[in-house]
Amino acid sequence: MLSDFKRKPEYMGFVLIVIIIALNIMMQGSAFFRASSMQTLFSTTMPLIALTVAQCVVMISGNIDLSTGITMSLVNVFAVMTPVHFPWFPVWAAYLTAYLLAVFVGFLNGMLVGWFRIPPLLATYGMSFIVRGINLFISDRPQGRVAREFWSVYKGNFFGVPNTAVVVIALLMVWFYIKKLPSVKELYALGGDEKATYLTGISTTKTTIFAYVVSGMYVGLAGFLWTLMMASSNPINGDVKTLQSIAAALIGGTLISGGWGSQVCGVLGAFFMSLVSNATSYMFTKFIPSFVPGFSVSSYYQDFVAQLITMFGIIFAIVVSSRARNSAKSALRVTKT
């Protein structure tokens, strides 16, 4: 049982999440499990989870997307500011159009990478600048607001369970359903060996476009969650989440080389990064001062320690995940023979 689990993409992400949860419990004790703490954890992590899941889909196909974070901001500013600029435009239509814009950006990325054969780093990096320009055209500064009845639901709970936790469960349930579909299996095949996939008759172009379109769907969801979390709009602040989503995908067990990973990896990796930030913040502001009265350091040191832990997490995850993939391939060869 354990040996089989070690061959799963999620193995290292699960190990890291257990370690960081244990670290938080050691420092915070039972306070870590307070309803308010869980509510804050889930509500602040949810946009990154959706964005990391989007990144995982593309990485599984052997590609990458550097425009996810700024596209999330596109959804945010369009949904919030369109009814402001055009009062006759229904709010529901603004959100729907914003979501479709994210899917369209994903489609364009897929066309550039799959059809025109532009390297994914170059194509999506260029797309990020185009989207940034559109964002600033819509809104040149943070402004606007989201109706209270919207964001209060996002930050609310259902019988003590954060509503955002329900969204996480829904994402995982969707994944367990779609991972058996032929189109998703083709994503793994493409990421594992593009040439062999092409020789089997699978259209690598269509599969690449499919990967980016599905990623765009999740980016659109991330944009909604980001909007509800901030309850306002900002044209560029989501851009920083792009590299965080890539790091979270790697920490969760998804390999950038393709053909290995899952949406579960994205969820685990995103939670790990949030818990690292939570642990370092508590460590420097409450845990250490409780033993060393008057202890105080700049927040830069907190960020440094958090990034250091994240870096080691990425290294360990890549090494272990690479070994797990090789082990799984070896086991598959033995089974076939």
Residue 337 lies in a domain: no
Residue 273 lies in a domain: yes
Residue 303 lies in a domain: yes
Any idea what the Cα angle at residue 243 is, between residues 275 and 286, rounded to 5°? 25
Residue 286 lies in a domain: yes
Given a contact cutoff of 8 angstroms between Cβ atoms, the answer to whether 212 and 116 are in contact is no
What is the predicted pLDDT for the residue at 263? 93
Residue 291 lies in a domain: yes
- CB neighbours of 322 closer than 8 A, spacing ≥ 6? 255
Residue 335 lies in a domain: no
The number of folded domains in the chain is 1
How far is it, in rounded angstroms, from Cα 265 to Cα 210?
Answer: 20
Nearest to 8 by CA among 265, 330, 269, 318: 265
Residue 143 lies in a domain: yes
Element (H, E) at 11: helix 11-28
The tens place of each residue's pLDDT in the chain, 337 residues long, gives 667 788 889 998 999 999 999 999 999 998 898 888 899 999 999 999 999 999 999 999 999 999 999 999 999 999 999 999 999 999 999 999 999 999 999 999 999 999 999 999 999 999 999 999 999 999 999 999 999 988 999 988 877 789 999 999 999 999 888 888 999 999 999 998 999 999 999 999 999 999 999 999 999 999 999 999 999 999 999 999 999 999 999 999 999 989 999 999 999 999 999 999 999 999 999 999 998 888 888 888 889 999 999 999 999 899 988 888 877 666 655 555 5
What pTM, to 2 d.p., does this model score? Answer: 0.95
How far is it, in rounded angstroms, from Cα 56 to Cα 313?
Answer: 17
CATH number at residue 179: 1.10.3470
Domain that holds residue 14: 2-328
Residue 333 lies in a domain: no
- CB neighbours of 115 closer than 8 A, spacing ≥ 6? 205, 209
